[in-house]
Structure 1
């Protein structure tokens, strides 16, 4: 992949920014949000809580309940990435991880990347209580 094409490699044009819809009620998602935000970005990442009023206003055509189940990334050119594609898009946006994203998206490594992302998602589902985001501010870490 180069800077002239989209993270999935479909050649739809230059991406100027990515909006990441993340589950703010999930400890793994909040940690990933902080980690991504702290890294040098080649493509700016904007973080919006999934299912929030802001997300609904910015992206009225999305299934917002689905964005709470799977990480969703929307490019400024309208492309939508979900699940493993969304994780790879986030890595692709980072200065020090673009090469990793490109390698993980190759046919030989993509199946392993998908298994890893699915495992992380399963852990996320098992650690997320319905009221977690309402009662925890992560100060216990």
Structure 2
């Protein structure tokens, strides 16, 4: 395993593991969870269902309704990445995708990465009602 540094350049220094809060009621999120979990990891990814009792206990300061709307990743040091930063942190943790994550986070490619992530989020949002985030409406199952 290579030395872990900061996935998004925000001063995380060393990262021992990342906790990924994912929406277990969303098919896209479940597929992403399976895909990430099935890849070789340079930095271990721990998966916790967003909004769950475990998530609320481990991270009491988070807006848990928001974690159901946006992918959220927390470093073992407590830094929180949301949305595109969270997706890039997940890719950065993977052995075969770290280089891609670093390229995508460059000033030249970050706007394109953000558009791609926003498109994926739009697909996900299309399966949800407008008030989703306070509780699951199970429309996506």
2:100 matches 1:100: yes
TM-score norm. by structure 2 comes to 0.89
Q: Which runs of 5 or more residues in structure 2 are unaligned?
A: 130-136
Instruction: Tell me the SS of whatever aligns to 2:14.
Output: coil
Q: How many residues align?
A: 133
2:27 matches 1:27: yes
Offset of residue 4 of structure 1: 4.6
* 1:16 alignment counterpart: 16
Verify the 8 A CA contact 2:127 2:139 in the aligned structure 1.
no
Cα distance in 2 for partners of 1:128, 1:40 equals 32
Instruction: Give structure 1 regions of 4+ aligned residues with deviation exceeding 4 angstroms.
Output: none
TM-score norm. by structure 1 comes to 0.89
Cα distance in 2 for partners of 1:42, 1:4 equals 8
Q: Tell me how large the CA RMSD over aligned residues is.
A: 1.4
2:36 matches 1:36: yes
Q: Which runs of 5 or more residues in structure 1 are unaligned?
A: 137-141
